[in-house]
Amino acid sequence: SEDKIGRALDGRRDKVILASKSGARDAEGMRRDLEASLKLLRTDHIEFYFFHGVNTLAELDQIMGPDGALEVLLKARDAGIISGMGFSSHRPPLLYLEAIQRLPLSVILIWDNYLEEQYVPEIQQQVYPLAREYGVGITAMKPLADGFLYQSPENALRYALGSGSEVLICGMNSVQHVLQAAEALTKGPASMEERAAILREAPELGHYVCRQCGVCSPDLMELFRLEGYMDRQMVDYLPHDPANYALRLRLSGWFDLGESARQRFAQAGWDTGLVYAEAAGVQCPYAIDVARKTKLALAKIQGEKLNVL
């Protein structure tokens, strides 16, 4: 992609802000990747260069340690080769809190859409406020949840536009996708009333994904957030057409947060009997069968046979 963008920007470099990334954690790898990016992009300057896909504290420590990738980007920034540094991850958002406080960042790249918002509220509640406190810009990715929200592109884009990021990026591979994105941008961010309607009517959320509305007990809402860690609440054992079913299976394990869900569940020490009892009396405003969903969520987290359909 860097080569394609470099060729496309021939004669237009001064009209764009460039960002690129490296998965290197050590100085040698980062130096190699940065040099390759400059060559492929046909430029001597990149505005923002990202530490990309940093998924553990150990990786963050390596980046900041002796012969770590940070020292290369610090020198590149001082030399005017880059303007600033960015950070991205595909793991629990609390890693962003560490990175914002420990790295000299200009921007973060973090997922933001109306599916993930239902089980990772920390993005809006903790990461965004801390980024603003530290003067770090916010670029939101995955507004269509890796394509899962394909039935509602305009709603998904307008919802994400209203979530508080400075920049929204979305993968597109056709002219139609570009036109849809432009149309959503023209209409602007969804209002609070429109956001509520989107959550209420979104076909992808349907009668299964918990909207965290507060009708359920705090324990049940946390349980459904942990289910989101397991499979993004995509595996609902409800009828779907073959293409949609295949998409759910392909995307459900994208973030690989199952172990984190099991650890948090174990730490909670819930009495599952009480959890079942709480679920039995819930009248969900989104018509979710809460008792059935509770059984499925517990079975997924505890590794039990799913015989509760």
- pLDDT at residue number 91: 84
Contacts of 150 (CB under 8 A, 6+ apart): 144, 247
DSSP calls for 55-112: -SHHHHHHHHSTTBHHHHHHHHHHTTSEEEEEEE-SS-THHHHHHHHHS--SEEEEE-
Amino acid identity of 139? T
Please tell me whether the overall predicted TM-score, pTM, comes out greater than 0.95 for this model.
no
**Res 308 pLDDT > 60:** no
- pLDDT at residue number 63: 99
Mean pLDDT of 265-270: 95
Mean pLDDT of the chain: 95
**Residue 200 contacts residue 206 (beta carbons within 8 Å):** no
Q: Which of 19-23, 129-133, 283-287, 300-304 has the lowest mean pLDDT?
A: 300-304
Report CA 198 to chain centroid distance, whole Å. Answer: 19
pLDDT band at 151 (very low <50, low <70, confident <90, very high): very high
**Residue 198 contacts residue 163 (beta carbons within 8 Å):** no
Q: How many of the other CB atoms lie within 10 Å of CB of 273? A: 8
pLDDT band at 307 (very low <50, low <70, confident <90, very high): low
Residue 204 DSSP symbol: T
Q: Which of 85-89, 168-172, 287-291 has the lowest mean pLDDT?
A: 168-172
Share of the chain above pLDDT 70, in %: 99
Tens digit of each residue's pLDDT (9 = 90 or more) over 67-122: 999 999 999 999 999 999 999 998 878 899 999 999 999 999 999 999 999 999 99
d(CA 85, CA 106): 5
d(CA 111, CA 132): 17
Q: Per CATH, is 2-201 categorized as 3.20.20.100? A: yes
DSSP calls for 152-175: -HHHHHHHHHTSS-SEE-----SH
Of 259, 270, 244, 240, nearest to 300 by C-alpha is 259
**Residue 212 contacts residue 282 (beta carbons within 8 Å):** no
**Residue 231 contacts residue 123 (beta carbons within 8 Å):** no
Residue 191 DSSP symbol: P
**Res 309 pLDDT > 70:** no
Share of the chain above pLDDT 90, in %: 94
Mean pLDDT of 23-40: 98
User: Which regions of the chain carry the CATH code 3.20.20.100?
Assistant: 2-201
**Res 214 pLDDT > 80:** yes
